[in-house]
Amino acid sequence: MTTREVVVHHDASLLAAAVAARLITRVVDAQSAQGSASVVLTGGGIGVAVLAAIASSPARDAIDWRRIDLWWGDERYLPSGHAERNETQARDALLDRLEDLAPAHVHPMPADDGSTTVEDAADAYARVLAAAARPEDHGPVPRFDVVLLGIGPDGHVASLFPGQPGVYDERPVLAVRGAPKPPPQRISLGFSALCSGREVWVVAAGAEKAGVVSLALSGAGRVQLPAAGVTGQARTLFLLDRAAAGQLAGRLGRIASP
């Protein structure tokens, strides 16, 4: 398990801008080192804010958008183009503004077309991931360069909710039924896929996240607090604003506050 590092920024706006800059740098470094990059996107307010910050950044064109694969950590199982889908929000915030982005390298989770079950959709995404995995990845998913994750006030990440079946499941892609927040049907990467990333970044803003951030960094179990169960192969970062870090002051000396 990698040591969790904590970086604190002043507020949510600065956090989104800083994460965007960090992600641009990381992708450029990966492309320089290995020719391409692979990133798992997240939804939610801060996840979309990060994408919007990339869209407005003068440095965004430092990325070769023809040589990046984009995946999703989870998705609401809704019809294609639905405003609540993470894919739709990501396209609105960033992807549709990128002329050089290769459509074949954008891998949204399946939408509800009315003819397949959420289980069929999860299995289909698992097959797409397996087809993209290389022998050197040593597993059923690619070795993602960065896995971006938000964290819910209950401690969920992706669509892995406390005490729900997904926290016990080791498959790389899971169908979720009966999610405790709407919509009830979702698709999610499981822990085995999320933790295959070279770097996992948990991004959180707001005082309502302070309690679960503190618990996640204090060694809670993944069943009760899924955010405690995600770690990167090389690095695990908790990127926070001051409100989300409000219960850490004085206890964790590794907080930096630029």
Cβ–Cβ < 8 Å for 200, 127 = no
- Residue 237 has a pLDDT of 96
Domains (range + CATH), the chain: 4-256 (3.40.50.1360)
Tell me how far apart the alpha carbons of residues 126 and 227 are, in angstroms, rounded to a whole number. Answer: 22
Kindly give the confidence (pLDDT) of every residue in the chain, 258 residues in length, as a single tens digit, with 9 standing for 90 and above.
678 999 999 999 999 999 999 999 999 999 999 999 999 999 999 999 999 999 999 999 999 999 999 999 999 999 999 999 999 999 999 999 999 999 999 999 999 999 999 999 999 999 999 999 988 888 899 999 999 999 999 999 999 999 999 999 999 999 999 999 999 999 999 999 999 999 999 999 999 999 999 999 987 889 999 999 999 999 999 999 999 999 996 555 445 544
> Nearest CA to 176 among 186, 190, 168?
186
> Nearest CA to 96 among 128, 125, 54?
54
> Nearest CA to 240 among 24, 39, 9?
9
- Residue 253 has a pLDDT of 41
Which own/partner contact pairs does 126-133 have at CB distance under 8 Å and 24+ positions apart? 126/171, 126/172, 126/173, 129/71, 129/172, 129/173, 129/193, 132/69, 132/107
- Residue 220 has a pLDDT of 83
- What is the length of the chain? 258
Tell me how far apart the alpha carbons of residues 206 and 12 are, in angstroms, rounded to a whole number. Answer: 7
Helix H or strand E encompassing 256: strand 255-256
Token pair in block for residue 250: 């004085």
Residue with tokens 């971006």: 148
Tell me how far apart the alpha carbons of residues 179 and 185 are, in angstroms, rounded to a whole number. Answer: 7
Tell me how far apart the alpha carbons of residues 183 and 34 are, in angstroms, rounded to a whole number. Answer: 38
Buried b (16+ CB within 10 A) or exposed e, 184-195: ebbbbbbbbbbb
The 10 Å Cβ neighbour count of residue 65 is 16
Residue with tokens 């405690």: 228
